[in-house]
Amino acid sequence: MFKRTLVLALVCILVLSAIPAIAQDAPELPADCGTVNLEYWNPFTGPDGPFMGQIVDAFNAEHPNIQVAMTTQSEYYTQLSTAAASGTLPDVAIIHVDQIATQVYRNVLRPIDSVVEEAGINGEDFPEAVWNAGEVNGSRYSIPLDIHPMTMFVNADLLAQAGFDTPPTNAEEFAAVAAALTSGDNNGFMITAGFPIRQIFEMLLYQFGGTSFNEDGTEATWNSEAGVQAAQWLLDAQAAYSQPNLEVDAELNSFKGGTVGMIWNGIWQTTNVTGEGVFFNGVAVPVPQIGTQMAVWAGSHQLTLPTQADEDPCRDTAAGIFISYLLDNSVTWARAGQLPANNVVRESEEFAEVQPQADIAAGSVDYVFFPPAVPGITDAYGPLDEAMSALLSGNATDVQAELDNAAERANQILEQNRETFGAEATPAP
């Protein structure tokens, strides 16, 4: 057992030692703390889980006085709610960026300003949008681990056969490529009436100069002129290059079958539709700029400290050291298909070798946007999900009316959430 542990430690150190340090001022655990055990929860039930496990194993090997037990949970937010009710929340937890404010108002998360300061984590080392997403009512509740943007996947073989050397980067190029590749049984571009059609609509909405909500997140604003432009572009692209009323994942399956030139989906699909995942030359690149300005829909996994019944400075210091380590070694995490949120890591030579993630980062990270930090914001997206599905499935045809109706229902949800969350809990100052 000793030899196996030693070998694991050496392997982990060799794999991770080349990663550039970020939180150089991260504190050491005081000797009088003894050994601190941390519970770390995350929702990484897919192929990304083992990559996170590698980092945790390496951390434990390098920090004998801090031992992290990682638990990967399905039904993740249900598990967090149950643990909150029973007072058994973990010490560190991954929270999706659109859930931060909701979990704050449910008292699942606690402020971490002092932990961030002690750990030497600097907001200037992150893109402003993803860093600001962790602040609620003037307090910091999370640290961004990664960014996972909308990505364009291309069948480079089909493009080459049609005479195109590179994927499109703007609306004109996109139209030319999609039209040329739409012939016979092949489709130049394919979109579904389900996930992620709403996220794609949002991206185009921002590219055409609109926003999903007003600045303080109290009102839906997707029923603007920009929203109509975005939805109409999708409908026109569907009619010209795609097939109608496709179910969720239909575009992925058709792309993998080699009959589709381009699709848009999350970067997490990279291993599924490129490299060994397909029999052709499938490549992943940044999405093109279709509207008047560049914008990219993205999600983010954020590191948080859940609420605890008792204060423990040793535990908080240990958690800060662990979070800093995760950031320092997020090139390993990038190999799971994510983009490191930290600028230092993302601009490192080590990350430059992680492809296609590095190229996607170069064309995406500066343009990502996130939902406002409003509790229950994911519920307010429900009517927009339904509206986009209705339009792309052909069950609705009046774009403006559909967006207006979705915005009206979303505003009612936002109002109900203000009453609900305002009455149940208030974030700690």
Whether residue 45 is found in the same domain as residue 169: no
Q: Do residues 65 and 167 share a domain?
A: no
Domain, as residue range, for 335:
2-144+301-340
Residue where one domain finishes, among candidates 340, 360, 392: 340
Question: Does 290 share its domain with 382?
Answer: yes
**Residue 346 within a domain:** no
Asked if residue 347 is part of any domain, the answer here is: no
Contacts of 400 (CB under 8 A, 6+ apart): 223, 228
In the chain, how many domains are there?
A: 2
The reply to whether 265 and 294 lie within a common domain is: yes
Q: Are residues 122 and 183 in the same domain?
A: no
Residue 113 within any structural domain of the chain: yes
Q: In the prediction, which pLDDT does 26 show?
A: 63
The answer to the question of residue 349 being in a domain is no
> Could you tell me the pTM of the whole model?
0.91
The per-residue pLDDT for range 304-330, each reduced to its tens digit, is 999 999 989 999 999 999 999 999 999
What's the pLDDT at 424? 40
Residue 109 lies in a domain: yes
Q: Are residues 414 and 294 in the same domain?
A: yes
State whether 83 and 123 are in the same domain. Answer: yes
Predicted local confidence at residue 27, as pLDDT: 76
**Same domain for 101 and 168:** no
250 and 382 part of one domain: yes
Please report, in tens digits, the pLDDT of each residue of the chain (429 residues total): 434 344 444 434 444 444 444 445 567 899 899 999 999 999 999 889 999 999 999 999 999 999 999 999 999 999 999 999 999 999 999 999 999 999 999 999 999 999 999 999 999 999 999 999 999 989 999 999 999 999 999 999 999 999 999 999 999 999 999 999 999 999 999 999 999 999 999 999 999 999 999 998 999 999 999 999 999 999 999 999 999 999 999 999 999 999 999 999 999 999 999 999 999 999 999 999 999 999 999 999 999 999 999 989 999 999 999 999 999 999 999 999 999 999 999 999 999 999 999 999 999 999 999 999 999 999 999 999 999 999 999 999 999 999 999 999 999 999 999 998 874 433 443
Residues 291 and 312 in one domain: no
41 and 180 both lie in a single domain: no
DSSP alpha helix (H) spans, 35-123: 49-62, 76-86, 100-105, 113-119
Q: Which sign does the torsion angle of CA 329, 334, 338, 339 carry?
A: positive
Contacts of 207 by beta carbon, 8 Å cutoff, 6+ apart: 230, 289, 290, 291, 292, 293, 294, 295
